[in-house]
Amino acid sequence: MAPLKRKEVWGASIVLLIIIFLALVSMGVQIRRNNQGHREATYRVKKQDLVIDLVESGSLKAKKSTPIAAQLQREATILYVVDEGIQVKQGDILAELDKTNLEQDLQQGLISIEQMESDVIQKERDFEIQRIQNESEMTKAKFKVEMARMDMEKYEKGEGPQKIKEAEANLEKAKRDMQGMPELLEKGFVTQNEFLDAQVALDKAQTNYDVLMTYTHPKELQKIKSDYEEACRELEATKMRLENVIAQKETGLNGARRQLKLKQDSIEKLKKDINGMTLKAPNDGIVIYGSGDPYDWRGREIRVGGRIYGQQTLITLPDTSIMQVACKVHEVDVDKIKAGQEVDVSIDAYPELKFKGKLEKVGLIAKEKGRYGTTDVKTFDVDVLLEGSDPRLKPGMSSKATIHVNRLKDVLCVPVEAVFENEGKYHCYVLRFGKKAKIEVRIGQSNDNFIEVADGLKEGDVVVLSSTEVQNELKGGS
């Protein structure tokens, strides 16, 4: 580019000076000469409305975004991926991942299921056979108990008492037969042999009775009771043994069924994983690779032939119908803002686009500025919700948010250049009778241009703005 001619430079300088002068005049600033003949700016103090805004740069983002990720247990290769930045409709294919390994796993799994199903069928048959055998053995054992019980009752209530009665009857008869024998023998009605036979019969009946009551009957009764108790014990032992056997069969069967169910579940999940290797849009949106975080380096690796891992977000679909501005507010300003405050938003790429918005959320934790905390500056994340939208708006676009912090009505204000701070105290230089007087003031809220003076000045005072002379006085400690 050719250098400007001297006349053109002078012309441009004059125009710039005129613009600055008009701006100062519009603010109420006047230019005067001090006692040394130097020009310095002054301002006549007056009451006015003080608009306090906080202007922060930020970037657009969608209020709602849908992350798209393949549910992978391992890494996979991208075979196809839709171009970034295009608008997609619900149901559109976003990406295709290589599913060769999954399909091989599916075939092997189906073979395993067939083997497991056969094993379950065999164990079900074994269990049913064992159940039938158990019923048969239990029936036999119960029958044996019942027979022993009937034998015991038959002897206790029938055979035993009958034998005792017969022995008692034989003994009584022998006693009666013997009772008159000595007299009959003496009179000669019976012979000696008949007498001896009667005596022998009595002794035999007595012996039989004594043996029955002392040995035979107790022995038979004890044996029959013992047989019944033994049958009961055998029944209980048989029951426990069969319960243990059937429990083992059931455990084996249930284990086989569980293994089959786990394998079937894994096959169903494998089928879902295979279907999930074709990623489709769940809703309309603009395609953004990765999570949408500008610091997400893995998003830059999304391409055909690239590898993705685990639950890695492949694509994010922001809903651009509701947009936000994400910005950061310095920690010294965070106490000025709160949710609900009105905000004006402009878009750097489209200066003609202006939006109204509301401050929606202020972060609770201060963060170091920079991705890895490379500075000591602390900021808070702030989200501003836009009212309305425009198809030209895209996530990540640079924007500017003007947060309307406060509006003070009819307060005493001076330009910020008129207030000086020294050792924690604030003061102004006020012109009185042609001389500057250093006046301590109490300040209030401020914006980029004006600051509220709560005490120390009155309306109509003329204050001196920052100048070389004033700065020299400050350095001199005056």
Q: Which domain holds residue 162?
A: 104-273
CATH number for the domain spanning 454: value is 2.40.420.20
Strands of 297-375 (E only): list them.
307-308, 313-330, 342-347, 350-362, 367-368
| Residue 312 maps to a domain | no
The CA-atom distances, in angstroms, between 65 and each of 282, 286, 400 are 11, 10, 22
Using the Cα atoms of residue 34, residue 32, residue 49 and residue 459 in order, give the sign of their dihedral.
positive
Query: Which DSSP state fits 4?
Result: P
| Residue 197 maps to a domain | yes
The per-residue DSSP string of 432-473 comes to: ETTEEEEEEEEEEEE-SSEEEEEES--TT-EEEPP-HHHHHH
Residue corresponding to tokens 């993705």: 308
The CA-atom distances, in angstroms, between 299 and each of 54, 84, 253, 288 are 33, 11, 50, 9
Question: Last residue of some domain: 248, 273, 298?
Answer: 273
3-class state of residue 58 by DSSP: strand
Q: Are residues 40 and 119 in the same domain?
A: no
C-beta atoms surrounding 433 within 10 Å? 5
Q: Are residues 257 and 153 in the same domain?
A: yes
| Residue 443 maps to a domain | yes
The per-residue DSSP string of 60-80 comes to: EEEEEEEEEE---SS-EEEEE
Q: Are residues 40 and 117 in the same domain?
A: no
C-beta atoms surrounding 392 within 10 Å? 11
Q: Are residues 178 and 40 in the same domain?
A: no
Question: Last residue of some domain: 243, 273, 303?
Answer: 273
| Residue 140 maps to a domain | yes
| Residue 351 maps to a domain | no
| Residue 114 maps to a domain | yes
Q: Which residues contact 226 (CB under 8 A, 6 or more apart)?
A: none
Q: Are residues 132 and 261 in the same domain?
A: yes
φ, ψ for residue 290, nearest 5 deg:
75, -155
Per-residue pLDDT of the chain in tens (478 residues, 90 and over written 9): 333 344 444 454 454 444 444 444 445 565 555 554 456 789 999 999 999 888 999 999 888 888 888 877 778 889 999 998 888 999 999 999 998 888 899 999 999 999 999 999 999 999 999 999 999 999 999 999 888 888 888 888 888 888 888 888 888 888 888 887 787 777 778 788 888 888 888 889 888 888 888 888 888 888 888 988 899 999 999 999 999 999 999 999 999 999 999 999 999 988 888 888 899 999 888 898 887 665 566 666 788 988 888 778 888 898 888 899 999 999 988 988 999 999 999 999 999 999 999 999 999 998 876 555 555 688 999 999 999 888 888 888 899 999 998 899 999 999 999 999 888 899 999 998 878 899 999 999 888 899 999 999 999 999 999 765 566 665 555 4
Q: Are residues 166 and 39 in the same domain?
A: no
pLDDT at site 296 = 63
Q: Are residues 109 and 36 in the same domain?
A: no
What tens digit of pLDDT does each residue of 196-237 get? Answer: 888 888 889 888 888 888 888 888 888 888 988 899 999 999
| Residue 369 maps to a domain | no
Q: Are residues 119 and 267 in the same domain?
A: yes
| Residue 229 maps to a domain | yes
Q: Are residues 108 and 32 in the same domain?
A: no
The structural domain count of the chain equals 2
The CA-atom distances, in angstroms, between 348 and each of 356, 393, 448 are 15, 11, 21
Question: Last residue of some domain: 273, 296, 326?
Answer: 273
pLDDT at site 297 = 61
β-pair type (398-415, 342-347): antiparallel
| Alpha-carbon Rg for the chain in angstroms | 56
Q: Are residues 34 and 160 in the same domain?
A: no
Give the separation between CA 165 and CA 123, rounded to whole angstroms.
61
